[in-house]
């Protein structure tokens, strides 16, 4: 049902209705409830000549999860507009159809000419403004001064004499003889009239005005006045002024916030079938706590491949691409990428890996191959938003984990052996007499491949729903159907079969179906990179897998999954610890449900002998996590285990004792089980084997776990009793015998027997 238009509420308006732009279609005035009120000024404080910002709380977020921008007040109209017209400098192309001449150039070192004749076609031109301060346009718009001169027209500030304190912007052609400019002006007027988005400047109306001496009237677009600062100004502002405006450092978070808002506006335009074409810092104004995209003079329909392009060379794709391909949605995203890159050069960089993630995003947006760029403003905005989440988390702010839009959630964890109670093999299959260290090496690549997440199926693939309800245990039947049924001849089917055969251990078939998926998909499909990485891991080819995961990261710089995979590859390949930790840290600081990242960081700390840091990471696993118990068990094993070159201290044994007591209370399912007995036995064995020659000292935690006295006899007797209990868990007579041998060997009176038994085990 179509809603009725809202009548204009102004008493002096006869029959008008409010349009989608917020202005009346009859009296051409803003709806009364939208008329901006002048900001109140304290009585004792005189008006200042510069906008006065009010800084929000440091890094506060708005409802969209973006930074709350500082408030930038509109300058006084008398300060915003100049009463002196400064003609544009530099030449520009003649607007006569099919003419390639350049007009407005300087000769013999003189100033650029603001009027004259085209050297190619002889058509006269004039860049002089047709309006002057004091002129009245459309009966009630009084010109106050000049705001700017753009590529196509002069921009004037005017006051609506019928509405108090309501200012508007008039935009007219810079050269009325420019045919291309006239067409752009018509397109701009037509486009603006139908657009309504909070971050896009609104049109009020279109008026005609004939200046004295003119033979034909000039058309002017009347737009809302947006007072503030352009992003171009912010890019080059003096440091002290920028610090004052932002109440501190202008950082990458502000740049990302600008980017997401700009992309929201462009996404709206693209949905209307329009391209913006000329995004650059000059065309975005930061006003209040918001932004406005202005100057839609370059706008064109997405399917328009014939009319002249309007663009800024420093932000547009290379000439070869412009000439051969024209402009597309990814071209708009290319210009946004260069806009953000220019702003980022002025901003404080992102923290940790987020700096690289931002750079990867810019590289993808501005990739030399259009097929490798983002395919939509929404896709680019989501990745940009994810980079902001990463930066915020790494900067020490509260993390706000969000479910990935690209990868399925997974409960699997790789490298969790540290948080698993050791099996009987820990005692019965030792290679030598020494107590083994905790498992702190990189996990097996095959186990890691099984634990990494898989991509969310593409909902546009008509086979995705069917495949979602199938079990992967019998891929042969689905493969046979896929060969015969055209409905299953899709990328998702091929990827599903690749994973199914991978899980079944059939690497050859998995590889064949991945090649099939590659043939059916685009050249830069990140899902192919990801699956190829999983295949390489299953084959133990970690270095090759790293390259594929790096390509996935370049395509999805905001996602956690590629960074988790790269962290593992760096760990396995023994890369620089700082590099490895950066990947794990970026994932863990952002989302505390990522147990694989927590265990990865703990392993890195342990390999350099830092128990406390390893325990600190494990303690960050929240109680709501399914990995919470594993993290608590891992912390106890870390505190008491023998690390390369060092054993635990008495203080660490005491901490492990207290943690075991808490575990007994909060995890009653463990108490009395075989797992509990094995965990207690490992702790006691570590205390026995790592006891310093002079004893543990005054910090020794005497009690039920470690005995009443710090002596080899007391520790040995406790350990012997625990090993005898483990013998009852043995699955064979040989295993039971090995455990009993160890139980007797640790008794003080059996020192000789212990040596005999160890010698026998070595011989065996």
Catalytic residue numbers read 278
Enclosing H/E stretch for 415: none
Residue 370: Cβ-neighbour burial (10 angstroms; 0-12, 13-18, 19+): middle
Q: Which of 274, 323, 326, 320 is nearest to 299 (CA)?
A: 274
Distance of CA 656 to the CA centre of its chain: 39
DSSP 137-186: ETTTEEEEEEEEE-SSEEEEEEEETTSTT-EEEEEEES-TT-HHHHHHHH
Q: Which of 227, 191, 409, 390 is nearest to 302 (CA)?
A: 191
The DSSP bridge pattern shows strands 284-287 and 218-224 to be unpaired
Give the three-class secondary structure for 504: coil
* DSSP assignment letter at 271: H
Torsion of CA 393, 397, 402, 405, to 10 degrees: -40
Q: Which of 679, 762, 684, 683 is nearest to 718 (CA)?
A: 684
Whether residue 149 contacts residue 174, with contact meaning beta carbons closer than 8 Å, is answered with yes
Whether residue 438 contacts residue 641, with contact meaning beta carbons closer than 8 Å, is answered with yes
Rounded to whole angstroms, how far apart are CA atoms 732 and 674? Answer: 16
Q: Which of 466, 425, 364 is nearest to 678 (CA)?
A: 425
Q: Name the token pair of 203.
A: 């049109």
Q: Which of 305, 325, 307 is nearest to 368 (CA)?
A: 325
Q: Name the token pair of 504.
A: 């079944």
Beta strands in 557-686 (DSSP E): none
The DSSP bridge pattern shows strands 284-287 and 290-293 to be antiparallel
Sheet bearing 290-293, strands edge to edge: 229-230, 284-287, 290-293
Cβ neighbours of residue 380 closer than 8 Å, sequence gap 6 or more: 263, 333, 336, 361, 365, 374
Rounded to whole angstroms, how far apart are CA atoms 125 and 105? Answer: 12
3-state secondary structure 660-687: HHHHHHHCCCCCCCHHHHHHHHHHHHHH
Exposure of 622 in the CB half-sphere (CA atoms within 13 A): 9
Q: Which contacts of 326-329 are long-range, i.e. CB under 8 A and separated by 24 or more positions? A: 327/275, 327/277, 327/300, 328/275, 328/302, 328/370, 329/270, 329/275, 329/302, 329/375, 329/376, 329/377
Cβ neighbours of residue 223 closer than 8 Å, sequence gap 6 or more: 168, 169, 170, 171, 192, 201, 202, 203, 204, 294
Rounded to whole angstroms, how far apart are CA atoms 37 and 265? Answer: 25
Q: How far is CA 643 from CA 340, 611, 637, in A?
A: 47, 9, 11
Buried b / exposed e over 521-546, threshold 16 CB at 10 Å, is: beebbbbbbbbbbbbbbbbeebebbb
């Amino acid at each position: 049902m179509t809603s009725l238009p809202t009548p204009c509420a102004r008493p002096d308006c006869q029959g008008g209705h409010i349009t989608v732009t917020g202005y009346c279609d009859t009296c051409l005035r803003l709806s009364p409830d939208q008329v901006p009120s002048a900001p109140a000024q304290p009585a004792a404080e005189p008006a200042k000549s510069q906008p006065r910002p009010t800084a929000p709380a440091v890094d506060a977020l708005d409802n969209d999860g973006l930074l709350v921008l500082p408030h930038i007040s509109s300058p006084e109209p008398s300060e915003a507009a100049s009463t002196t017209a400064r003609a544009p400098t530099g030449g520009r192309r003649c607007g006569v159809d099919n003419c390639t001449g350049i007009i407005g150039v300087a000769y013999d070192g003189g100033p650029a000419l603001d009027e004259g004749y085209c050297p190619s076609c002889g058509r006269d031109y004039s860049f002089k403004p047709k309006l002057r301060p004091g002129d009245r346009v459309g009966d009630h718009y009084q010109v106050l001064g000049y705001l700017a001169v753009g590529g196509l027209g002069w921009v004037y500030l005017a006051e609506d004499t019928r509405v108090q304190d309501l200012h508007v912007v008039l935009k007219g052609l810079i050269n009325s003889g420019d045919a291309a400019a006239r067409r752009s002006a018509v397109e701009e007027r037509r486009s603006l009239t139908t657009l309504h988005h909070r971050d896009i400047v609104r049109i009020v109306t279109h008026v005609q005005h004939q200046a004295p001496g003119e033979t034909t009237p000039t058309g002017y677009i009347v737009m809302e006045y947006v007072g503030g600062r352009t992003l171009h100004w912010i890019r080059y502002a003096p440091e002290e002024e920028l610090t004052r405006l932002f109440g501190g450092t202008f950082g990458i978070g502000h740049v990302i916030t600008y980017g997401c808002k700009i992309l929201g506006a462009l996404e709206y335009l693209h949905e209307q079938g329009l391209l913006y074409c000329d995004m650059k810092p000059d065309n975005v104004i930061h006003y209040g706590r918001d932004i406005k995209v202005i100057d839609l003079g370059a706008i064109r329909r997405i399917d328009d491949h014939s009319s002249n392009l309007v663009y800024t060379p420093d932000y547009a794709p290379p000439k070869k691409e412009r000439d051969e391909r024209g402009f597309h949605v990814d071209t708009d995203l290319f210009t946004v990428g260069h806009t953000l890159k220019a702003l980022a050069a002025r901003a404080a960089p992102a923290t940790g890996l987020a700096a690289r993630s931002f750079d990867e995003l810019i590289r993808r947006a501005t990739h030399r191959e259009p097929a490798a760029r983002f395919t939509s403003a929404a896709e680019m905005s989501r990745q940009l938003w994810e980079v902001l989440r990463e930066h915020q988390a790494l900067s020490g702010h509260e993390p706000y984990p969000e479910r990935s839009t690209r990868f399925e959630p997974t409960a699997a964890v790789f490298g969790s052996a540290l948080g698993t109670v050791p099996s009987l093999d820990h005692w019965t299959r030792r290679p030598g007499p020494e107590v083994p260290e905790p498992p702190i090496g990189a996990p097996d690549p095959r186990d890691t491949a099984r634990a990494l997440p898989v991509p969310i199926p593409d909902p546009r693939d008509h086979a995705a729903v069917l495949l979602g309800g199938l079990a992967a245990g019998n891929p042969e039947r689905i493969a046979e159907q896929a060969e015969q049924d055209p409905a299953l001849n899709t990328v998702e089917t091929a990827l599903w079969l690749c994973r199914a055969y991978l899980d079944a251990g059939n690497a050859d078939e998995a590889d064949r179906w991945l090649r099939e998926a590659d043939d059916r998909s685009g050249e830069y499909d990140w899902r192919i990179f990801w699956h190829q990485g999983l295949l390489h891991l299953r084959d133990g080819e970690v270095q090759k897998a790293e390259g594929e995961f790096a390509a996935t990261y370049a395509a999805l710089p905001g996602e956690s999954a590629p960074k988790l995979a790269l962290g593992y590859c760096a760990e396995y390949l023994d890369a620089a610890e700082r590099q490895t930790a950066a990947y794990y840290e970026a994932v863990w600081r952002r989302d505390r449900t990522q147990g694989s990242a927590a265990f990865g960081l703990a392993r890195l700390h342990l390999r350099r002998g830092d128990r406390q840091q390893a325990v600190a990471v494990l303690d960050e696993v929240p109680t709501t996590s399914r990995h919470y118990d594993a993290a608590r068990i891992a912390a106890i094993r870390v505190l008491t285990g023998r690390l390369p070159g060092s054993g635990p201290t008495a203080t660490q044994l005491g901490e492990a004792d207290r943690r075991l007591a808490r575990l007994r209370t909060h995890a009653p399912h463990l108490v009395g089980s075989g797992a509990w007995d094995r965990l207690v036995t490992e702790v006691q064995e570590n205390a026995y084997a790592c006891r310093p020659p002079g004893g543990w000292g005054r910090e020794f935690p005497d009690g039920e776990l470690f005995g009443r006295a710090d002596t080899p006899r007391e520790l040995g007797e406790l350990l012997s009793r625990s090993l005898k209990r483990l013998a009852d868990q043995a699955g064979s007579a040989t295993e039971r015998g090995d455990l009993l041998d160890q139980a007797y060997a640790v008794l003080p009176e059996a020192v000789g027997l212990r040596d005999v038994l160890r010698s026998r085990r070595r011989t065996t």
